[in-house]
Structure 1
Amino acid sequence: MGASETMRAVRITAHGGPEVLELTEVAVPAPQAGEVLVQVSAVALNNTDLWTREGAYGRPGDPKALSGWRGPVDFPRVQGADVAGRVVAVGADVGESLVGRRVVVDPAIYDREGPDANPVGLMGSERDGGYAEYVTAPAERVHDVTESPLTDDQLATLPTAYGTALGMIERGRLRPGETVLVSGASGGVGVALMQLARARGARVLAISSGSKIDSVREAGAHEVVDRARDVRDQLRAAAPEGIDVALDVVAGDLVSAGLPLLREGGRWVVAGALGGYEVTFDVRRLYLHNAQVIGSSMHTPTHFGLLMDLARQGEIQPVIAATFPLDQAAQAQEQLANRGHVGKIVMHPF
């Protein structure tokens, strides 16, 4: 691959609406020592893409500040955390064995070495991502899934949504036979939570609304609660014994309404704030019942390894809602923002 070669990429140069996404020609990145170069077959969209573009994350002490996931974004930035593709070149200190293999990239940038590291950065946010024809990644973050029965589109949906979901399930210590509540069930993380919780042998109660309820049931929920009616009453009826684990990407008022429904020793795991980031609840319901509220951001290397095992075995069936070419990144993000779909939106750079 000649040094002069260029590729198409979609970058943001400032925070803003879909109009800040620009399709441009840039040099194909060269893999540094310890890195590989991946030709992107499919890149999945996430809410993270919208919030990074908008600068919607706030900062400690200043919740309204324009900020990326973990602080200021270094512009220009190629977005896109979720990449499936093929390794086409390797940098120094990397064996050739990965070349030609079909891979999924773990998009997390971790705080330390080791299997239980915490993610403190993200591809597409703290380093360039997959809204492009090629992307570099550390070799140790590239997982060979050549043998997986899943399509490239399905594989691309896994890193952020299923990685986040498996992180929540692991941190919430979900066990077979437990009753689990999934909020935001029609979204990418919601569908992943339902499928992974079912695969673990849990009973899944999901919260959704309107036209999506049937699709959510098809995607894996045992029972669906309608968000448009009194959620607490419906949950009491659906789970009279209480809920063992809540897997919540909505937060807001749901936390105060739902916490009293936890069983003794129940766990409420929060990995998003679609319903609002300011939460009030009766703290007596927490300590008197030995309950836990657990924050969960993405996954550890161990969690991601478990996810890749499931992918290779075809134990999960990601749902693709729509596909777009790279030059329609703005339309793809707008469809994501409208939340009218069930499953994941994927772009094809080639």
Structure 2
Amino acid sequence: MNSESARSSIGSLALIPEVMTGVLLVGHGGFDKLVYRDDIPVPMPGPGEVLIKVAAAGINNTDINTRIGWYSKGVKSGTQEGATQGFATSQDADATWSGVPMSFPRIQGIDCCGRIVAVGEGVDLGRIGERVIVRNMLRSYVDYRPMEHWAFGSECDGAFAQYAKAPSRETHPVNCDWSDVELASVPCSYSTAEGMLHRAVVKQGEHVVITGASGGVGSAAVQLAKRRGAVVTAVAGLSKAEQIRDLGADRVVVRGESLVKHLGKEAVDVVIDVAAGPAFADLLDVLKKGGRYAVAGAIAGPIVELDVRTLYLKDLTFFGCTLYDEVVFENLVSYIERNEIRPFVGKTYPLKDIVKAQQEFLSKTISGKLVLVIPE
């Protein structure tokens, strides 16, 4: 079937342009690897897929980490060190979430909010017009094999363009009064945060420490932990402390200060960590015997010093959190629709300013999610 006949055979595609504006990642490295183009072919939804007119797309650590090749085991430092030029020690062979080499060019963008404008074979035409967000860890493309996934915008094209396609079963309608920008702040950050809380089985009344609390994942974790009835100590910069308290944190410890000094040893039930780095030992010291440590990031550095005696003598449980249970994303949609959480957007940018957005994201001077607005 040629492209024209295919285009007219799928619901509503006759109204979709042939090309679109978007940002191509053309290789691992610096900001120069992000190329803004207006002649990118519009994707066509295959069987079981939908085509989304993207309205907004959030900025995330993973977009930057993928661009610079940070996931490669050849990289030993935090994201910041290679954020501008990439890492000379990164190896293309293992520079993605999955450890499989990335295909270039790639449209990144793990956060997507938009409306379904066309559907592929086997998808109900009634889905056209729905406002949706896309599950960021896609399971359809790996046939739901255990512990496998494709990251939207990594193993397949994502939301940094006017159109994106995704599996229908992993594209969720959301009925709420949030703006497109606000909904685009949810998929990666909130699912990562909820996934950690879910894996660590955080319960009402438990004391939880959350690192990186002014960022997307951390601020989501503050709200989601409070929703579960936990007592929250958040770690954040001094200038952002009041905002984090407004999100529900019971206490804010300034980043760089000793948690042991503020909380005492063995005072905490659960640690939700996205930072790692030099503060790692302190996090284990404040955990009670039998405590749980969940991690889904290492922005302060992936290499830490672990005294294994602390791990086993305190009977600690460690959770490495990437893939999350299906119920996590479904729950997030329900939390939004029941007004149990709220968005925390720091700033928006037009898609053409993606480099500026990533630079300001890396500066850590803005609290909340930074979101790209996609051109009509």
TM-score, reference length from structure 1: 0.93
Contact conserved, 2:260 with 2:285, CA < 8 A, in 1?
Answer: no
Structure 1 position 317 matched with structure 2 position 342:
yes
Give runs of aligned pairs for residues 213-232 of structure 1, distance below 5 A.
213-232=241-260
The equivalent of 1:138 in structure 2 is: 167
Deviates more, 1:253-262 or 1:63-72: 63-72
The equivalent of 1:337 in structure 2 is: 362
The equivalent of 1:76 in structure 2 is: 105
Cα distance in 2 for residues equivalent to 1:172 and 1:16: 35
How far 1:286 sits from its partner (Å)? 2.1
Unaligned stretches of 5+ residues in structure 1 = none
Cα distance in 1 for residues equivalent to 2:162 and 2:75: 36
Structure 1 position 189 matched with structure 2 position 180:
no
Q: Given the alignment, which residue of 32, 45, 58 partners 1:19? A: 32
Query: Counterpart of 1:193 in structure 2: which amino acid?
Result: A
The equivalent of 2:53 in structure 1 is: 39
CA gap 1:298/1:215 in 2 versus in 1, 3 angstroms: farther
Q: Report Cα offsets for 1:118-167 as digits up to 9, x if no partner.
A: 3532111110000011100000111111x223221111111100000011
Contact conserved, 2:351 with 2:374, CA < 8 A, in 1?
Answer: yes
Please state whether the residue corresponding to 2:269 is helix, strand or coil: strand
Unaligned stretches of 5+ residues in structure 2 = 1-12, 77-88
Please state whether the residue corresponding to 2:112 is helix, strand or coil: strand
Contact conserved, 1:320 with 1:346, CA < 8 A, in 2?
Answer: yes
Please state whether the residue corresponding to 1:166 is helix, strand or coil: helix
CA gap 1:119/1:346 in 2 versus in 1, 3 angstroms: farther
Query: Counterpart of 2:240 in structure 1: which amino acid?
Result: K
Structure 1 position 283 matched with structure 2 position 308:
yes
Query: Counterpart of 1:280 in structure 2: which amino acid?
Result: E
Contact conserved, 2:266 with 2:289, CA < 8 A, in 1?
Answer: no
Q: Given the alignment, which residue of 152, 161, 169 partners 2:180? A: 152
The equivalent of 2:204 in structure 1 is: 176
Please state whether the residue corresponding to 2:190 is helix, strand or coil: helix
Cα distance in 1 for residues equivalent to 2:221 and 2:75: 31
TM-score, reference length from structure 2: 0.87
How far 1:117 sits from its partner (Å)? 5.0
Cα distance in 2 for residues equivalent to 1:117 and 1:341: 37
Q: Given the alignment, which residue of 318, 323, 327 partners 2:352? A: 327
Query: Counterpart of 1:154 in structure 2: which amino acid?
Result: E
Q: Given the alignment, which residue of 83, 104, 129 partners 1:100? A: 129
Structure 1 position 87 matched with structure 2 position 85:
no
Query: Counterpart of 1:142 in structure 2: which amino acid?
Result: T
Structure 1 position 299 matched with structure 2 position 324:
yes
Over the aligned positions, Cα root-mean-square deviation in angstroms equals: 1.9
The equivalent of 1:128 in structure 2 is: 157
Deviates more, 1:254-263 or 1:41-50: 254-263
Structure 1 position 52 matched with structure 2 position 66:
yes
Deviates more, 1:293-302 or 1:10-19: 293-302
The equivalent of 2:272 in structure 1 is: 247
Query: Counterpart of 1:26 in structure 2: which amino acid?
Result: I
Structure 1 position 308 matched with structure 2 position 333:
yes
Contact conserved, 2:259 with 2:286, CA < 8 A, in 1?
Answer: no
How far 1:274 sits from its partner (Å)? 1.4
Query: Counterpart of 2:19 in structure 1: which amino acid?
Result: T
The equivalent of 1:9 in structure 2 is: 22
The alignment covers a number of residue pairs equal to: 344
Please state whether the residue corresponding to 2:303 is helix, strand or coil: coil
CA gap 1:117/1:220 in 2 versus in 1, 3 angstroms: farther
Please state whether the residue corresponding to 1:140 is helix, strand or coil: helix
How far 1:112 sits from its partner (Å)? 5.4
How far 1:241 sits from its partner (Å)? 6.2
Cα distance in 2 for residues equivalent to 1:228 and 1:205: 14
Contact conserved, 1:188 with 1:343, CA < 8 A, in 2?
Answer: yes
Please state whether the residue corresponding to 1:78 is helix, strand or coil: coil
Query: Counterpart of 1:44 in structure 2: which amino acid?
Result: G
Q: Report Cα offsets for 1:235-264 as digits up to 9, x if no partner.
A: 32xxx7610000001112322122122113
Identity within the alignment, %: 38
Contact conserved, 1:117 with 1:301, CA < 8 A, in 2?
Answer: no
Please state whether the residue corresponding to 2:285 is helix, strand or coil: helix
Please state whether the residue corresponding to 1:77 is helix, strand or coil: coil
Contact conserved, 2:290 with 2:316, CA < 8 A, in 1?
Answer: yes
CA gap 1:264/1:31 in 2 versus in 1, 3 angstroms: same
The equivalent of 1:349 in structure 2 is: 374
Runs of 4+ in 1 over 6 A off after TM superposition: none
Cα distance in 2 for residues equivalent to 1:74 and 1:92: 26
